[in-house]
Amino acid sequence: MRKLFAFALVVALVATSASGLRASEPQAKDIVDTAVAAGSFKTLAKALDAAGLIPTLKGAGPFTVFAPTDEAFAKLPAGTLDALLKDKAKLTQVLTYHVVAGKVTAADVVKLTSAKTVEGRSLPIDASMGVKVGTAKVIKADVMASNGVIHVIDSVLIPN
């Protein structure tokens, strides 16, 4: 169940970031479809498919996904993405670390110091100078999908 929620969050965040949709605008598409339509979450979509998380993120939710863009994946050290794509368990762990169960909007995020991810760990949140989740900066918030919300981030979060 955790992995499913995490996947949904990641997909939703990715979809809204690339789509050019305005924040807080309700959408008829789910997190996965929103991300695919956006065009800048191709790597995330590929990873979600490889991990088998797409059906989860197309589910009822709601999910909050901190979605890394294709550019964020490109910043990973050489070989990291390929290694993750070959290790389904580790890939699922990384992707579900980007998902929080429930709909957590920007107004909610700025009041938090952490959020429990679907992966099971706590994701640190710092809203003192912009918003950072873990080591990633939120570059677009509140991209709404029919089953949750996506917050676009500039880095891939790797749980320790």
Q: What is the CATH number of the domain that holds 146?
A: 2.30.180.10
Residues 6+ apart with CB under 8 A from 22: none
Full residue range of the structural domain in which residue 24 is found: 2-153
CA distance 22 to 16: 9
Percent of the chain at pLDDT above 90?
A: 72
pLDDT at 123 over 90: yes
Within a domain: 159: no
For residue 114, the cross-strand partners are 124
| Structure confidence at residue 41 (pLDDT) | 93
Within a domain: 160: no
Within a domain: 86: yes
CA distances for 32 relative to 83, 126, 129, angstroms: 23, 27, 30
Within a domain: 148: yes
Within a domain: 98: yes
Q: pTM, whole model, 2 decimals?
A: 0.82
Average pLDDT over residues 61-88: 95
Answer whether 11's CB lies under 8 Å from 32's CB.
Answer: yes
For residue 38, give both structure tokens.
């956006």
| Structure confidence at residue 92 (pLDDT) | 97
Within a domain: 75: yes
pLDDT at 13 over 50: no
Average pLDDT over residues 30-44: 89
| Structure confidence at residue 35 (pLDDT) | 83
Within a domain: 158: no
Within a domain: 39: yes
Answer whether 27's CB lies under 8 Å from 11's CB.
Answer: no
Average pLDDT over residues 71-86: 96
What's the number of domains the chain is made of? 1
